[in-house]
Structure 1
Amino acid sequence: MQTALNATQANQANQANTDFSGLWIPLVTPFDQGKVDYPALKRLVAHYRASGIAGLVVCGSTGEAAALSDEEQLEVLQAVMAEAPGLPVIMGVSGYHLGKTAARVGALSQLNITGILLPAPSYIRPSQAGLIEWFTTLADASAAPVVLYDIPYRTGSQMALETIRALAAHPRIQALKDCGGDPAKTRTLIADGQLQVLAGEDANIFSTVAAGGRGAIAAAAHLHTRRFVDVMRRIQAGDMAGAQALWAPLPPLIEALFAEPNPGPLKALLARQGLLRDELRSPMTRASAALVERLAQLDAQVV
């Protein structure tokens, strides 16, 4: 496997690293009577594009990508890019068939996107050697930089520290969305400096960035976006007191947003703002009335 990594490095030695610093919004996908609501999608992009974010992530788990056909995913990506030309966009790609997933990565990465977000294969639960083969093959197929997505509670695969370190040698693999649930591993990867570490668990944004992480991909930042941006900027500028004051009211809201399956609670609040309809694709369901009321109260307290 190291030989394959070295060969890839030799072929792509001149590729410059992409800067994934900052706050990325993993954009929800709005629906209207079961179909993608493209007018609402354009409103969302317009709403966020000038909010200080680093860019958008399209077709991640918050975007209900698993409920979209390949054709719909492509159309959503194209609509987002057309609405905000020049805004960095990362495309999420998941699967479990290596050949099909590699072909899709290869095709999508030709569309002038900033990066590809790749999780481990779902359902299969391969060994660490299998994970290295999976990610190496997909990175080889990509014309765009790769962001590893370590999220064992969705994939069933735990990415070991040494596996991530090995993958970091690949020139295409440049960042990590960290939902691994292991703070020690997070700190070690930040200290290594091989990958740009992005908080993937919203509750860990403050601790990850304070430890030297480069940013976050945060569903909760659909709300109070500029506040999240300012928290991260203040941490990186060394204004810890100012960052903490801004951060203090956010954890209760973040916790409530994930009290029921994401993005149901988030869509409920976005619907209250008039940005989209409170609609998800089955088997995802709308947030309960009791939670929506609680969320509204918590949201109002962030001032």
Structure 2
Amino acid sequence: MPSYATPTRPLFSGLWIALVTPFKDGAVDHPALTALTVRLRGQGVAGFVACGSTGEAAALDKAEQLQVLETVLEAAGDSPVVMGVSGCHQGQVLDQVQALARYPLAGLLVSAPHYIRPSQEGLLHWFCAIADASTVPVVLYDIPYRTGAMLTTETLLALAAHPRIQAIKDCGGSTAKTQALIADGRLQVLTGEDAQIFHTLALGGAGAISASAQWQTPRFVELMDLLRGGDLPGARRAWQALQPWIEACFAEPNPAPLKAMLAHAGEVRNELRAPMMAASPALVERLRAL
């Protein structure tokens, strides 16, 4: 099992990769997932997220999710791994959290319950119950356009008081909320919107959980190093060079464009699970041109 060295900066900082889940003839392609994780591990990333939205976790059954996690943990070596946790049945989610306790995880990435749209009080209860049950830190996943639940700044600041809630994947769509969380300082703020990486880090955010950084990874690492070192002119040049790729990577629903590019590079098959569809031929040509 991996062992983690004491980090020189907060654990939930730097460039984290939201891994795709490769498929081959309908099944998870574990050799491809291993090779992808090993390649990224050698390119300076801070850690990995398994079974997030980029990993098509909603299309994996619970046994497949655990198999994906085991493959990523083995391939990640000493790099920390966070596991995605989602659902709308609190009892079943708590069972999932307890089942994950036997794995050497760095944390759990937890989203609001989808479809239900609870009150802020209900959201506080949801996240605190999961954090209470967890043996590892919790990273809040604020992504209202997927869950239908908007976490207010006040709710997030209240959740920051929980000792096990230590970071946030910020897809909340509010610059004011992002700035408030960074200013408060209790949560490590990692943007989950790749188009906001430069902005969030320039404001003082801790890093990013990125899908598009699975390609051109060293350039994303360089961008973060430049920002961390205060070289804004160099960071702007690096960021501008990445813009066409990031824009193309989200021109159609994630992870279809990313899988098309990784397939073009021979790393995975260009295969998704329905109802997700492969990238359109026009976008594939655009990606290849990059």
Q: TM-score range by the shorter chain?
A: over 0.9
Is this contact kept in 2: 1:271–1:277, CA < 8 A? yes
Secondary structure, in 3 states, of the residue corresponding to 1:117?
Answer: strand
- Aligned pair partner of 1:117 in 99, 109, 122: 109
Match of 1:133 in 2: 125
Instruction: Report the AA paired with residue 287 of structure 1.
Output: A
Match of 2:16 in 1: 24
Q: Aligned runs of 1:113-192 on 2, under 5 Å?
A: 113-192=105-184
Secondary structure, in 3 states, of the residue corresponding to 1:81?
Answer: helix
Q: Aligned runs of 1:1-303 on 2, under 5 Å?
A: 19-297=11-289, 299=290
Aligned structure 1 segments of 4 or more residues deviating by more than 3 angstroms: none
Q: Give CA deviations for 1:145-176 in whole Å, capped at 9, x if unaligned.
A: 00000000000001000000000000100000
Instruction: Report the AA paired with residue 51 of structure 1.
Output: Q
Instruction: Report the AA paired with residue 164 of structure 2.
Output: R
In the superposition, the TM-score normalised over structure 1's length comes to 0.91
Q: Which runs of 5+ in 2 are unaligned?
A: 1-8
The structural deviation recorded for 1:252 is: 2.3
Distance 1:252 1:59 in 2: 26
Distance 1:19 1:263 in 2: 26
Distance 1:45 1:269 in 2: 16
Distance 1:185 1:244 in 2: 24
Of 124-133 and 83-92, deviating more is 83-92
In the superposition, the TM-score normalised over structure 2's length comes to 0.95
Q: Which runs of 5+ in 1 are unaligned?
A: 1-16
Distance 1:84 1:218 in 2: 17
The structural deviation recorded for 1:87 is: 1.2
The structural deviation recorded for 1:18 is: 5.7
The structural deviation recorded for 1:110 is: 3.1
Equivalenced residues, count: 282
Distance 1:154 1:84 in 2: 28
Match of 2:3 in 1: none
Is this contact kept in 2: 1:109–1:115, CA < 8 A? no
Of 172-181 and 241-250, deviating more is 241-250
Is this contact kept in 2: 1:152–1:180, CA < 8 A? yes
